[in-house]
Structure 1
Amino acid sequence: MPPPTFSEHLRQTWPLSAIAAGLAGYLILVLGKGVFYTNQGPVRRDRDPEGYRRWVRRFSLLLALCVATVLLTFLLARA
């Protein structure tokens, strides 16, 4: 049985792939608008730059973990 292609792997791991796509889209929106909407209210870049950077860092780390998981599981499936 040949190893799966990357698109087949994305179809098999679609929940994590969808989460990564959603996080990437939200980070693009946040960086463009300068407002990070949280359950505790909006964090504005101009009013609370430290809090804004902290939220962006956390979401960026979460996005990196999701993407790394998808890529590493693909590489492990091919091994």
Structure 2
Amino acid sequence: MTAGLTENDTMCEINTVPCTVYNRDTQLHRTNGTRNMCCTGLCIDLLTRLGNMLDFDVELSEVADDGSYGSPLNANMTEWNGI
């Protein structure tokens, strides 16, 4: 789950982490530029807790080209994009 940052916001709220996502058109294709968001949810909570326990920092950015976040790249589903 994400929430946008306004021009006056410089930090995310508690229990959220900054993440960078691509701007997208109406068909979810990438357009020029990125925007800063605040990500939250179970996976974010787990990642934050692991980072605190194991002493590492978290930096999140979107990797999927097509907005599908984990679709198979081939027919036999041995390669995936996204997550």
TM normalised by structure 1 equals 0.26
User: Which has a greater percent of strand?
Assistant: 2
User: Which has a greater percent of helix?
Assistant: 1
The one of the two structures with greater contact order (alpha-carbon pairs below 8 A, sep at least 6) is: 1
TM normalised by structure 2 equals 0.25
